Structure 1
Amino acid sequence: MKPSCQHQPNGGRVTMSSTLNILSTNAKESGIKQTAGQTMQSLRLLAHLGPRIQCITNPVAMDFSADILLAVGAQTSMTMGMDEIAEFVTSADCLSVNTGTLDSTRRAAIDTAVQTAIDFNKPWVLDPVSVHASSTRRSYAQGLLEFRPSVIRGNYAEIHALANDESANAPQKLARQTGAVVVQSGETDLITDGRRTLLMTNGSVLQTRVAAMGCASSALIGGFLAVNPDPFEAAVHALLTIGVAAEESVKLGTGPGSFKMHLLDCIYNLNEDLLVQRGRIVQCEEVAGS
């Protein structure tokens, strides 16, 4: 009988349950070597091509999201002006949408940006910030699902609220309903397209002490989507990048301020050997009928 695992809301630890069967733990297997190699290939493409990511995000997240993208070689634009947003999305390589600070101006910009992305076949990322805290925001974000985001990234509460489902398999169900890759972030990250599911345990608790870390992760996924047409792989590569870099940056700093500074340096200086050495990925399968 295979062991099983579940992504839990209380900190995201991997615990025993009957929800997901573990297929393999590839931290020391060939799987992580392949993933690390593909991640480095994407990082080299980002540095070479310098794709532009159009980000609609909350003011708190703008600087950090831009810095994270610049660290991997991507460019970013943050405009929300209704007279130019469509042009910016048309010429961008990917769109990243964050529902933080969801005022009428931001909502109008999101509506136009998402429609433009669909019209011009651009991949886009949805970060449903705080949809668990506001029924109005949740309803709005659920309406955006009709526009088929490539990736949806949120924490446990956000993903389950967006899915209107408190079951352990809500991320998989949401992925199947929308056709998106769903990333549920936490102490353990869960990445699923409804068929494949990975758990990733890289990262640092200091990520919870820096503002906009989740928002910047969504923007980074957008960067990887710009150079990799497979949303599942793009999400895995982005989270492996930021997770391993976070672990390395803890060694260099003394607290949240220095952690944030060193995180950018560690992302910039990542190499394949480090990704192989530090990457921790668990492949799982959903238990039928759960």
Structure 2
Amino acid sequence: MKTTSSEETEQHSGVLSETDVRAIVRLLADVAAFQGDHATRKRMLMGGLSRLVRADGWLWTMTRVDFPTNTPISIGLLHGGLTDEQVAGWIEAGQASSPPSPDSVPLTEILRDGRHFTRTRQQVVPDDDWYSSPNVKRNRLRLGIDHFLYSIYPLDEPGVISAIGLFREVGRDPFDERESRIAHILLSEIDWLHRAEMPTHKGEGVPQLTRRQRTVMIMMLEGRTTKQISKLLHISEYTVKDHAKAIYKHFRVSSQVELIGRFRCGDGGDIPGGNRERELQSNHDEY
């Protein structure tokens, strides 16, 4: 169906139609009424939002920003519509120091205001800076990812945020003002979901890890095995195991199960010793 000139004007001006508003309200109501766990509700919300703004994929992280270095440190990660390689590229882009991702400093500066904000990539990083960045070429464009829509929701402690990124593949048009407004309005109305499953320690101690250790840790928290991490990061399994041992020592845990528990519920003491725990343990005894 071809859009009329008035509809095209509304899309580019950021004006929402009655159809847009109804879709936002319907999605919020469906998520609020759903009886699943928080992770499932987040996936449900992001699947619906991705359809509304025509995104190809999304990431939702609980993140602690190390202000001295402007480095985002994920302490919880969900995603959809992305390959393992694309997720690994996103993790490495944020942790790389030479050169850093060109969006790190601008996003951190906006974050200092302490307000929820939503921005298109073009509002954060000009095209020239984006497409000339070696970091972007290596960790985004090479993997088929280009345009971003960022929505950053500050939580109680400075630098601790609920960060959402929506993505489009290389070759597609950028997100427009209307799509940015849809995302911002919808994500403004779910304070309870932004705060869900935040670890009690809010990522304290994570900045003291090396950049590579943080990258490995994020993947371990996703439940990935030594072999998977080795393949995605192009490092040996022995190196992965060495990083894992350093991470365990730092957080005073002895297994991947305990590490995941530490980040999901403090010290992991309230995780029942049922089938799920045994399954995780059997999958990750290799560490």
Q: Which has the higher contact order (CA 8 A, sep 6+)?
A: 1
Q: Select the structure that is richer in strand.
A: 1
The normalised TM-score by structure 1 is 0.26
The normalised TM-score by structure 2 is 0.26
